[in-house]
Structure 1
Amino acid sequence: MRLLTLCMIGVVILLQYRIWFGQNGVSEYQQLSSEVERQTASNATLKQRNQLIYADIRDLREASEAVEERARNELGMVKPAETFFRLIEKDTNPL
């Protein structure tokens, strides 16, 4: 009877060892959980960026003012009867 009890305790110890330190054990679970949290945060950032891009695309498709604004700011385009002035700030900190 004593031998059976020792064998059962040994089996339980081996199984506990595998649970805590073996493959697919608790340590690996904790690593994967932290990786999932990092990926979830990354996905949230990318989702927010995608929403901004979709809003910009929707604005460009639906409103001609957005196309005009982008052409003026990024390409420097002006209307035929306009005069373009660029104001440059004076350098207040000379080398």
Structure 2
Amino acid sequence: MKILAVLLALFLAAIQAQLWFGKGSLPRVTQLRQELAQAQAENDKARAHNAQILAELRDLREGLEMVEEKARTELGFIKPDEVFVQYQRR
């Protein structure tokens, strides 16, 4: 019976050693969680930056289209290699 108690104690010690010093140990898990949180924060920052750049790009595209439309309707702007045709209704 004493041998069984010693074997169980050794088994428990081996499990505890894995928990504290093994590949999936608590300190390693804590370190990985911190690295994950840092990576997620960097990703969020990059996503925000990308969204800002996309908004600026959209504004530039829409702004240029609006300027071109105004130039065409109000100033008679014609691009090179375009043919301007005007007709009147009777």
Q: What range describes the TM-score normalised by the shorter chain of this pair?
A: 0.5 to 0.7
Please name the residue that 1:32 is paired with. Answer: 32
Q: Distance in 2 between matches of 1:66 and 1:43?
A: 34
Percentage of identical aligned residues: 31
1:24 aligned counterpart, secondary structure = coil
CA RMSD in angstroms comes to 1.9
Provide closer, same or farther for how the CA distance between residues 16 and 25 of structure 1 changes in structure 2, counting only shifts above 3 A.
same
- Could you say which structure has the higher helix fraction? 2
Q: Deviations over 1:57-78 (max 9, x none)?
A: 11111112898xxxxxxxxxxx
Q: Distance in 1 between matches of 2:64 and 2:43?
A: 32
Q: Distance in 1 between matches of 2:45 and 2:60?
A: 23
In the alignment, is the contact (CA less than 8 A) between 1:60 and 1:66 conserved in 2? no
Q: Distance in 1 between matches of 2:21 and 2:47?
A: 36
Which of the two has higher C-alpha Rg? Answer: 2
Provide closer, same or farther for how the CA distance between residues 16 and 34 of structure 1 changes in structure 2, counting only shifts above 3 A.
same
Provide closer, same or farther for how the CA distance between residues 26 and 66 of structure 1 changes in structure 2, counting only shifts above 3 A.
farther
Q: How many residues of Structure 1 are paired with residues of Structure 2 in the alignment?
A: 67
Please name the residue that 2:54 is paired with. Answer: 54
Please name the residue that 2:17 is paired with. Answer: 17
Deviation of 1:39 (Å): 0.6
Superposition TM-score, scaled by structure 2 size = 0.67
Superposition TM-score, scaled by structure 1 size = 0.64
Return 30-39 or 16-25, whichever deviates more: 16-25
Please name the residue that 1:5 is paired with. Answer: 5
Specify every segment of 5 or more residues in structure 1 that has no aligned partner in the other structure, as ranges: 68-95
Return 18-27 or 33-42, whichever deviates more: 18-27
Provide closer, same or farther for how the CA distance between residues 11 and 35 of structure 1 changes in structure 2, counting only shifts above 3 A.
same
Deviation of 1:35 (Å): 0.1
